[in-house]
Amino acid sequence: MSENKKSVYGGQAVVEGVMFGGKYNYVTAIRRKDQTIEYLRLKRESKPILQKLKKIPFLRGIVAILEASANGTKHLNFSTERYDVDPAEDYKLAEKKESKLTLILGVAAVGIISFLFGKFVFTLVPVFLAAALEFMFPTKTEQVLLEGFFKLLLLLGYIYVISFTPIIKRVFQYHGAEHKVINCFESGKEITVRNVQEQSRLHYRCGSSFMLFTVIVGVFVYMLVPTEPLWYRLVNRIALLPVVLGISFEVLQLTNRLRDIPVLRYLGYPGLWLQLLTTKEPKDDQVEVAIASFKELLKLEEEEEGSAKIV
């Protein structure tokens, strides 16, 4: 247990389940239609070049984000394909045809492309909205602040609207269950439904916090470059996207390290406030799925550690 506690685990909510990742493995557990729990277990692929990049500040954030997008898509596909199918009819899963794009590029590549497309839209639409009001807010400072305001409005509005759909509401509940399990583990308590439910559904390392930090960091970064002409503004927003992502990741890690320090812990509060939208209080049966996923991961991680020691 002491060795595990030193490790840092991350996770992601999927449809009717939770994915957790460790040093060597990823595990997703989902609740099937017949109420049984099914697992997807994948080895963490360790590519030497990526491991080297992960040690370089600012670059490591970009690598981690793209890697998470690629891997998360695999687990999300697993859950969406199976959660509403009776296990007795699993033969139908083999009959489902993947899209041509997925067949050509692969699931991981599609995940990365989807992330980048969404990020471009999220970054560029506010530019056009702010530019349309340039007659009212002509200075660079006003334009950058207005752009940041529209970006925040777009982020909050999108999350608020989708939260009303039943399936997303349940995903947000599983998101809360994921955080509760991690908080329970990091507190050193036994991982039971009761102990997990006593934990907060918010966590400093959450990707929701990261999204908000990209908005805040973007305002400061964009203050350093011209906003005119419009074409140049659009180009530098795209070119500076890796810079914003890299810095935001470092800010996220910093707030996590400072969370137990009085006064400084408040630096992470904006991200926690956003999680009030992206997480919901889970039910006991949802917590059970999250616990099953996490315990399966711990088992696999211990087996890997044991094999490494023997070698």
Q: Could you report the per-residue pLDDT of 175-186, keeping only the tens digit for each? A: 999 999 999 999
Q: Could you report the per-residue pLDDT of 25-42, keeping only the tens digit for each? A: 999 999 998 999 999 999
Return d(Cα 41, Cα 305) in angstroms, integer.
Answer: 17
Higher pLDDT, 54 or 253: 253
Q: Could you report the per-residue pLDDT of 199-256, keeping only the tens digit for each? A: 999 998 888 888 889 999 999 999 999 999 999 999 999 999 999 999 999 998 888 8
Q: What pLDDT, on a 0 to 100 scale, did the predictor assign at position 52?
A: 83
Q: What pLDDT, on a 0 to 100 scale, did the predictor assign at position 200?
A: 95
CB atoms within 10 A of CB 144: 22
Q: What pLDDT, on a 0 to 100 scale, did the predictor assign at position 121?
A: 84
Amino acid in the structure at residue 158: Y
Q: What pLDDT, on a 0 to 100 scale, did the predictor assign at position 236?
A: 93
Q: What is the mean pLDDT of residues 274-287?
A: 95
Q: What pLDDT, on a 0 to 100 scale, did the predictor assign at position 186?
A: 92
Return d(Cα 264, Cα 252) in angstroms, integer.
Answer: 13
Is 288 exposed, middle or buried, given 0-12, 13-18 or 19+ CB atoms closer than 10 A? middle
Return d(Cα 155, Cα 128) in angstroms, integer.
Answer: 16
102 pLDDT higher than 50: no
Residue 142 sits at the vertex; the CA angle it makes with 139 and 144, to the nearest 5 degrees, is 105
Give residue limits of the domains in the chain: 2-310
Q: What pLDDT, on a 0 to 100 scale, did the predictor assign at position 48?
A: 78
Band the pLDDT of 53: cuts 50, 70, 90: confident
Task: Write down the pTM of the prediction.
Answer: 0.85
Q: 198 — phi, psi (to 5°)?
A: -75, -15
112 pLDDT higher than 70: no
Longest pairwise C-alpha distance within the chain: 70
Choose the weakest-confidence range: 14-28, 35-49, 213-227, 269-283: 35-49
96 pLDDT higher than 70: no
Band the pLDDT of 281: cuts 50, 70, 90: very high
Band the pLDDT of 97: cuts 50, 70, 90: low
Q: What is the mean pLDDT of residues 285-291?
A: 97
CB atoms within 10 A of CB 181: 27
Higher pLDDT, 95 or 304: 304
